Structure 1
Amino acid sequence: MNLRALMLCSGFALVALSPAAHARLSAPETKMVATVDAEYERSVALLEKLVNQNSGTMNFPGVKTVGDMMREELEPLGFKVEWLDMSKAGRAGHLVAKKAGKKGSKKLLLIAHLDTVFEEDSPFQTFVRNGDEAVGPGAGDDKGGMVVIVSALRAMQAAGTLKDAAIEIHMTGDEEDAGDPIDITRAPLIAAGKIADVALDFEGLSIEDGKDMGVISRRSSNSWKLEVSGVTGHSSLIFDSTYGDGAVFELARILHRFRTELPEQNLTFNVGLVAGGQEASLDADGVRVSAKGKTNIIAGVAVARGDFRTLSEEQSARVREKMIAIAAASAPKTKATISFDPGSYPAMAPTDGNKALLAHLNTVNRDLGLAEQPALDPLKRGAGDISFVANDVDGLVGLGAYSKGDHAPGETVDLTSIRRQAKRAAILMTRLSRGK
């Protein structure tokens, strides 16, 4: 099957379908492709509407409003939609939409998120289109993904394949900054994963060297806090048998050993915040630090915060054990305690089931006349909500729109990728729901 050459447009890789691309598609699948194309401008208009409504994680009314917008799209497609309030966990809530489908259909779990990193006080607030690109807060992450879901479902409805599909959609309201405790904020998603047959995550498409990539794994995100105490006193007495090494030198010893002893494949670790002195403390959110001291006073207190990311829960456990052992080997007259945030995101390992799903997607790509999507290096992708169900169900990530500059002013989405991704998703979901 012929494949047109990759075309570059304003930094985006665009893949066009060849004239013979649909030869292996069924009649309903051909209808899906035509519907996605016919409704392109409708999809762009929906994206503009979503982006122009601020939904920074902490803008609870804004997140809820975006949820209401999605309700308006999903209910006409036959979904029963529910808003799950999460105010007790300090967040807005989640949108959950369910459709039972035909008895015996494979249960599909679709995952996206309503919130963005751009809060109400951000100067970056408005959708601006420039041809087949658009700039706007969350235009790619993840409002572009939500539009892909709607476009794919509309195509399935037009082709008559949606009515029999069993689908549950979870659009979380705090993916960018999860509420606490996370075992409450993610309980509905985890429960859905336990009964699903397949999980599909509609965060952004990954592209490497002009090629669309398939994502079958995501690394964990684990936060840690290191607290060190020592004996404070006059600096002229440091390192003697009474005063020892001081808190800052002990902190430096531990961080140096992390750097030299922790490295292994698929692991990254970072120190994001450090302070020490006669006094040092973190704020309640753990994102600001205050310290006081003098050059001639031995530091009595030191603190540090950071994260580490792994490809499996077994790797996470091993890294924690190493960090605890390093911190426990205290220098003279010091004591260190390391703790780990219970709100960490688990890993999504590259299982055989996930690889099989990517093979299914590549069959869809072949039938659409699109290039195969190789598996993305997990080091190229951060943590996400699908990881909470990864131990219970096979999954794929990256079914949303392609964008660049995410999480920063100027976030830009490739609007044409919505069509490409919606076609893939509609056909893949139809085939999976029928057990093909």
Structure 2
Amino acid sequence: MPRPLRPALPLAAALLAASPSAAQAQGLSPQEQAIVRYVDAHADEAVDFLERVVNINSGTLNVEGVREVGRAFQAPLDSLGFDARWIALPDSMRRAGHLFAYRQGTRGRRVLLIGHLDTVFERDHPFQRFTREGRWATGPGVNDMKGGDVVILYALKALHAAGALEGTTITVAFTGDEESPGAPLAEARRHLVEAGHASDVALEFETASRDSTGEYATTARRGHNEWVLRVTGRQAHSSGVFSEGAGSGAIFEAARILTAFHEELRGEQYLTFNPGVIVGGTGVEFNEDEGRGTAFGKSNVIAQSAVVQGDLRTLTVEQLDRARERMRQIVARHLPRTQAEITFAEGYPPMAPTEGNQALLDLLNTVNRDLGSPAIGAWDPGRRGAADVSFVAPFTDALAGLGVHGTGAHAPGERVDLETLPMQVKRAALLIYRLTR
């Protein structure tokens, strides 16, 4: 017999039966207890809303789909007293734009909440629908990161129901192209950076982390930048390779440089670099935007050209600058009759660890204590990719990875643990509450 698609006991009732009531929670004020009660009472509604938005395809290049998901969030944000606005990007960027929502007040710290509306699953991908079975649900973007967006929305709903939004300054930033940012990146993230400058705290709701030892939030994450290495040599008959007149050729020079990167830069904590694609030969064509190229050559001809494209990840700006300089120095040691140049594109900056970020985690753990939940640790920054929070981390205290718990992000079968959704909403709502008192 197939298992039922929904548990016999509604999620809200199951949570209330399995966990202490709000009144039993230690250290919660009456208003905070009201926030917790709202979350428990609306747990099934939150899942239904998640199903609704997951079933709207919003692959980054599906401009109308991303906008439709934005509209699904815009209406409830407006009803909570936010000024929700769709921010269009230039047509040349071929991206949908972003949804930003604002509340202006005078009480507490100014808080920025960050999510994104797009997924990696475009319209032609076979993985398209939300499917629920017991405590788990699968679907495109169900944890990365429509689940996190739902955490933001229902945390704000709970605060509103308890009368706790009055007087607060909160900005919600839902970007529409996190999975494949539009170019130029400075323009694609201009409004987010402006929001960061106008905020004291940034909370980002990408997928939460956990392992066999417990749960974690993110106080630091590495940035992501790209580089392109272009090499030229002297085309000549291969019988003369290594001679003074012919030299070593472009492919040997590219190999020398990559080997030196591997031997001289590898091993520094949180520094990684990866050559993702290489083409070389007598004639080379390469498209940097698509990471795609073609090459022609013959075994008896010394290669004239080679192109390598790769990435570079670091934890701090200082580490990034140091790595770039070392790479330039390696490139400059040319083999005979060759030339090489490496260029670096601006990408996602690092979110460096700071005392302010740690203080946010400490505050979150007071929430966990008062909810009767175990403390959360700081996730290893080497295990997280780049994200939008990094653009504002230089101007704010920041905490990330506050979304839902799930598995398989970016892959067919991506899923979310629905029983963890209410706790993530409670944590977010109470953290925002305490920041804005």
What TM-score does the superposition give when structure 2 sets the normalisation length? 0.93
The one of 298, 301, 305 aligned to 1:297:
301
Q: What is the RMSD of the two structures over their aligned residues, measured on CA atoms?
A: 1.3
Report SS of the residue matched to 2:280: strand
Matched residue, 2:183: 180
The one of 37, 41, 46 aligned to 2:49:
46
Q: Is the 8 A contact 1:228 1:250 kept in 2?
A: yes
- Unaligned 5+ segments in structure 1 are 1-13
Report SS of the residue matched to 2:178: coil
* Matches of 1:268 and 1:236, distance apart in 2: 38
Aligned: 1:132 with 2:119:
no
Matched residue, 2:329: 325
Matched residue, 2:283: 279
What is the CA-CA distance between 1:32 and the residue it aligns to?
1.2
* Matches of 2:76 and 2:132, distance apart in 1: 22
* Matches of 1:78 and 1:314, distance apart in 2: 41
What is the CA-CA distance between 1:91 and the residue it aligns to?
1.2
Q: How does 1:40-119 map to 2 (within 5 A)?
A: 40-86=43-89, 87-101=91-105, 103-119=106-122
* Matches of 2:274 and 2:324, distance apart in 1: 14
Matched residue, 1:312: 316
Give the AA of the match of 1:306.
Answer: G
Give the AA of the match of 2:45.
Answer: R
Matched residue, 2:5: none
Report SS of the residue matched to 2:416: strand
* Matches of 1:21 and 1:253, distance apart in 2: 66
Give the AA of the match of 1:335.
Answer: Q
Matched residue, 1:265: 269
Matched residue, 2:193: 190
The one of 160, 165, 170 aligned to 2:168:
165
Q: How does 1:378-389 map to 2 (within 5 A)?
A: 378-389=381-392
1:10-39 deviation per Cα after TM superposition (whole angstroms, max 9, x unaligned): xxxx9x745686121111111111111111
Going from structure 1 to structure 2, the CA distance change for 1:210 and 1:72 (only over 3 Å counts) comes to farther
* Matches of 2:371 and 2:308, distance apart in 1: 51
Q: Is the 8 A contact 1:21 1:369 kept in 2?
A: no
* Matches of 2:85 and 2:158, distance apart in 1: 23
Give the AA of the match of 1:91.
Answer: R
What is the CA-CA distance between 1:284 and the residue it aligns to?
5.1
Runs of 4+ in 1 over 2 A off after TM superposition: 16-21, 87-90
Matched residue, 1:4: none
* Matches of 1:374 and 1:167, distance apart in 2: 26
Matched residue, 2:25: 22
* Matches of 1:286 and 1:226, distance apart in 2: 16
Aligned: 1:432 with 2:435:
yes
* Matches of 2:92 and 2:186, distance apart in 1: 12
* Matches of 2:129 and 2:236, distance apart in 1: 55
* Matches of 2:404 and 2:51, distance apart in 1: 14
Q: Is the 8 A contact 2:107 2:167 kept in 1?
A: no
Aligned: 1:376 with 2:379:
yes
* Matches of 1:90 and 1:184, distance apart in 2: 13
What is the CA-CA distance between 1:282 and the residue it aligns to?
1.1
Give the AA of the match of 1:246.
Answer: G
1:71-99 deviation per Cα after TM superposition (whole angstroms, max 9, x unaligned): 02211111111111013433110000001
Matched residue, 1:9: none
What is the CA-CA distance between 1:68 and the residue it aligns to?
0.6
Report SS of the residue matched to 2:31: helix
What is the CA-CA distance between 1:40 and the residue it aligns to?
0.8
Give the AA of the match of 1:199.
Answer: A
* Matches of 1:165 and 1:88, distance apart in 2: 37
Report SS of the residue matched to 2:187: helix
Aligned: 1:412 with 2:415:
yes
Give the AA of the match of 1:301.
Answer: S
Matched residue, 1:364: 367
Matched residue, 1:234: 237
Identity %: 49
Q: Is the 8 A contact 2:117 2:174 kept in 1?
A: yes
Matched residue, 2:344: 340
Aligned: 1:245 with 2:248:
yes
* Matches of 2:75 and 2:404, distance apart in 1: 21
How many residues are paired up?
418
What TM-score does the superposition give when structure 1 sets the normalisation length? 0.94
* Matches of 1:139 and 1:281, distance apart in 2: 39
* Matches of 2:309 and 2:406, distance apart in 1: 30
